[in-house]
Amino acid sequence: MKIKDGYILRDIADSFVVVPVGERVIDFKGVMTLTGIAPFIWTQMEKDTSREDLLAKVLEEYEVDGAQAGQDIDSLLAKMAELGLLDT
Amino acid sequence: MSIQEPQWDAQFQDAADWEALETTMAARAALKHQPLGATFELTPFCNLRCKMCYVRLEKEQAVKIGRMLTADEWISLADDTLKAGTLNLLLTGGEPLSRPDFAEIYTALSDRPFVLSLNTNAALMDAETQALFCKRPPSSIAVTLYGACPETYGKICGDPGAFERTLRGLEMLAEVPTSLEVRTTFIQDNMHELDALREIAARYTKRFAINVNVFKPIRGATADVESCRLTARQAMDLDTAHRQYYKARQKSGLSPKEPATTPKKGKYTGFDLPPKVLTCMAAKGMYWLSWDGRMLPCGTFSHPYTQPLKEGFDAAWQRLPTLYEDLRLPEKCEHCEIDLLGCPNCPANIQAESGNFTDVPPYICALAKERAQRLGNLKTGSTRHHTE
């Protein structure tokens, strides 16, 4: 799974902002701000990856509890899927 | 990198929430002097000949002033602005749609991660442009509606037929998935049409904004605004009527939101950032690129300016506020009886009216005094009545 094409993550004035471009503006009107380590997850998902790979990379990068990280990744993925952001 | 606790928050803003976020980002951008908001003035030319227009040029005027940037130059500048951190990008003119290569520029910009907005008079809308916007919608479109009938368009814009073409354009734009706003600038010729204009706007959108203050033309434009703009009293009367209409609707539960209004001066005051004389975001987090490639704090200034195509975008942006650092309001303003927060005496307006930064323009004083008398914010002890 990966983020669909047409969403670009930008680091502007200390905010991580996802901006839809071109025809993708029809699918998502507005912008998204990502806080905490959500930008890290987003960046990993700009190329095809799996939940397991994501979890491994998060645990490699951050000092977090594995079970909690897994739950939070699932929560974020569900939100992204609900918004139609994912190619699965 | 490590953190104490996982933080996974992802916030998803729709258009309504965007303004709040934008304000926060604008404050941070200004504090870091990042060029968050840009306006690209794609052309000084327009299909209409509005008698109060502050920027429109004829071709023979424009060639004496400068050279219009090409599509490639605008796209190249857009890439520079992206690298520098620009997010919000407004396309304006003149009339942007009057450029034969508008679609080329627009398509390229919409492929880049900007929050795009467009100002247009809508009279040049056609099926091809509508299809372009439907496929790649800007975040918002503001249409200026000059009158409520062909006669008024004839008087103001010199083209009675433009009224019907504007309505057709609005019909096309109403089908574009974007945030549509209708705006009207009021002068003597249309001041009697507030209600009719609001009714027309309501066919296409809930967002209707008015402008009652018209300043003298700038950067070589030559409109005779003094012969047609509202007096201070008329301007306040119209503004008051507009606000009262929405207040009444709010009371009756018909209108859930305040009407769209021009951002208030002083909205971001308190940052105390240089150049201090500019109490908005101009030159701090926002800038204007004119049709011939000048970088200005905002579109109401004529000079001083920097030249991003010659000196590089970053150098031009860094140098811009330094050009205004030593600027002060006219001395008379410093001792004025009026609360200056409500006065339209920003240096850009003063320059537009006086041609310099030192002479206090009577029109601005009249607007400020009228407003102060109605709102009761004359400084203590002053009861002098202003007459026009």
- On chain B, the residues whose CB falls within 8 A of the CB of A83 are 12
Cβ contact A14:B24 at 8 Å: no
A17 touches chain B (CB under 8 A): yes
pTM value surpassing 0.95? no
pLDDT exceeding 70 applies to what percent of chain A?
100
Q: Which two tokens stand for residue B123?
A: 């009279």
In this complex, the residue of B2, B87, B135 whose CB is nearest that of residue A17 is B87
- CA–CA separation, B59 and B105 (whole Å): 21
- CA–CA separation, B343 and B292 (whole Å): 31
Answer yes or no: do A32 and B85 touch at CB < 8 A: no
Shortest distance between the Cα of B351 and any Cα of chain A, in A, equals 31
In this complex, the residue of A13, A21, A79 whose CB is nearest that of residue B10 is A79
Residues 285-314 of B with CB under 8 A from A: 285
C-alpha separations of B74 from B8, B47, B63, B149, B215 in Å: 38, 21, 19, 36, 28
Per-residue pLDDT, B140: 96
Chain B residue with CA closest to A8: the answer is B113
Total residue length of chain A: 88
* Bridge partners, residue A3, by sequence: A86
- On chain B, the residues whose CB falls within 8 A of the CB of A6 are none
In this structure, the number of other CB atoms found within 10 A of the CB of residue B241 comes to: 13
- CA–CA separation, B120 and B19 (whole Å): 21
Shortest distance between the Cα of B375 and any Cα of chain A, in A, equals 37
- On chain B, the residues whose CB falls within 8 A of the CB of A70 are none
In this complex, the residue of B6, B8, B113 whose CB is nearest that of residue A19 is B113
Residues 95-134 of B with CB under 8 A from A: 110-115
Shortest distance between the Cα of A21 and any Cα of chain B, in A, equals 5
- CA–CA separation, B357 and B243 (whole Å): 32
Taking every pair of Cα atoms in chain B, the longest distance, rounded to a whole number of angstroms, is 68
Structure-model confidence comparison of residues B287 and B246, the more confident one: B287
Edge-to-edge strand ranges of the sheet holding A15-20: A7-12, A15-20, A31-34, B10-13
Q: Which two tokens stand for residue B207?
A: 């967002």
Residue whose entry in the numeric block shows the structure tokens 């240096």: B347
Q: Mean per-residue pLDDT for B265-284?
A: 73
Answer yes or no: do B1 and A75 touch at CB < 8 A: no
Answer yes or no: do A12 and B21 touch at CB < 8 A: no
Given a cut of 90, whether residue A31 has pLDDT beyond it is: no
In this complex, the residue of B10, B28, B87 whose CB is nearest that of residue A32 is B10
Per-residue pLDDT, B256: 56
Q: HEC states along B297-349?
A: CCCCCCCCCECHHHHCHHHHHHHCHHHHCCCCCCHHHHCCCECHHHCCCCHHH
> Is ipTM over 0.90?
yes
Given a cut of 80, whether residue B126 has pLDDT beyond it is: yes
Query: What are the pLDDT digits (tens) for B83-124?
Result: 999 999 999 999 999 999 999 999 999 999 999 999 999 999
The dihedral formed by the CA atoms of B348, B351, B354 and B356, expressed in degrees to the nearest 10: 150
Query: What are the pLDDT digits (tens) for B282-326?
Result: 999 999 999 999 999 999 999 999 999 999 999 999 999 999 999
Per-residue pLDDT, B377: 58
B342 touches chain A (CB under 8 A): no
- On chain B, the residues whose CB falls within 8 A of the CB of A10 are 87, 113
B328 touches chain A (CB under 8 A): no
Cβ contact A1:A80 at 8 Å: no
Please enumerate in sequence order all residues whose Cβ is within 8 A of that of B52, keeping only pairs 6 or more positions apart, or say none.
Answer: B156, B185, B187, B214, B223, B225, B228, B229
In this complex, the residue of B7, B11, B29 whose CB is nearest that of residue A37 is B7
A72 touches chain B (CB under 8 A): yes
